[in-house]
């Protein structure tokens, strides 16, 4: 399966995908897109993966020209902050997925990203948070949830601490959903035990390093 990844920032979820999608994996990243000159584009460039900045992220025709020129089967939003244009949603219906740093359907919607999500979780008094992967439709974070992984919310958590804990499970969840989609030929629903079974390795110190380098919080 040919994958395009869209990013807006430092790209730790892109890096997690690149770690997991080795030469024998059934999925391959063939294109990385961004709405800005994102630092994460260098991850693609270092691996000779085409990396493109969209001059106008709302231009659906520009999206489609790129996606079709690379024969993309699945679009993965990995820290991409903009709304995907309607023509792209229509052309790739049920073939666009997004990773979100909370347990959807809670704590999603327009403007709910990065620190704002974790502050809202802590303010709510929730005892757990986590990451979700969902199908993308015309509204922010409203598409059907495919998979989730949970983490505890600890009594003395700060937004930064909760962010790092959630990001570690994002790095497990997103590759698992992509691999499952590649094996099935389409995105599929996974429970938490199935997420683990689709990964070829367990989290390592390298994964912890990814979280430390990308907390999704302003620097």
Contacts 24+ apart (CB under 8 A), 138-142: 138/83, 138/86, 138/89, 140/83, 140/108, 140/109, 140/110, 140/112, 141/98, 141/100, 141/104, 141/105, 141/108, 141/109, 141/112, 142/105, 142/108, 142/109
Q: Say if CB 3 and CB 74 are below 8 A apart.
A: yes
Alpha-carbon gap, residue 100 to 118, rounded angstroms: 11
Alpha-carbon gap, residue 171 to 79, rounded angstroms: 12
Alpha-carbon gap, residue 164 to 159, rounded angstroms: 9
The Cβ of residue 117 has, within 10 Å, a number of other Cβ atoms equal to: 24
Q: Where are the alpha helices (DSSP H) in the chain?
A: 12-20, 41-46, 60-69, 86-91, 115-124, 159-184, 192-197, 205-213
Residue 100 annotated among the catalytic residues of the structure? yes
Strand-by-strand arrangement of the 145-152 sheet: 51-53, 28-34, 2-7, 74-77, 96-100, 128-135, 145-152
Give me the catalytic one of 19, 100, 134, 171: 100
Q: Which residues are catalytic?
A: 100
């Amino acid at each position: 399966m040919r994958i395009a990844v869209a990013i807006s920032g430092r790209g730790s979820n892109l890096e997690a995908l690149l770690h997991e999608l080795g030469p024998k994996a059934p999925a391959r990243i063939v294109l990385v897109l961004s709405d800005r000159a994102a630092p994460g584009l260098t991850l693609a460039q270092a691996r000779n993966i085409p990396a493109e900045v969209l001059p106008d992220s709302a231009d659906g025709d520009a999206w489609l020209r790129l996606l079709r020129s690379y024969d993309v089967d699945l679009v993965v939003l990995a820290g991409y902050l903009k709304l995907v244009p309607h023509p792209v949603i229509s052309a790739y219906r049920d073939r666009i997925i997004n990773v979100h740093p909370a347990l959807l359907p809670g704590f999603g919607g327009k403007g709910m990203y990065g620190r704002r999500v974790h502050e809202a979780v802590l303010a709510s008094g929730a005892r757990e948070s986590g990451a979700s992967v969902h199908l993308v439709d015309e509204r922010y974070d409203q598409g059907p949830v495919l998979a989730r992984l949970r983490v505890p919310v600890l009594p003395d958590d700060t937004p930064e601490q909760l962010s790092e804990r959630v990001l570690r499970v994002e790095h497990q969840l997103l590759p698992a959903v992509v691999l499952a989609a590649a094996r099935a030929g389409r995105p599929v629903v996974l429970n938490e035990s199935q997420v683990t079974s689709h990964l070829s390795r367990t989290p390592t110190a390298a994964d912890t390093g990814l979280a430390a380098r990308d907390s999704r919080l302003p620097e």
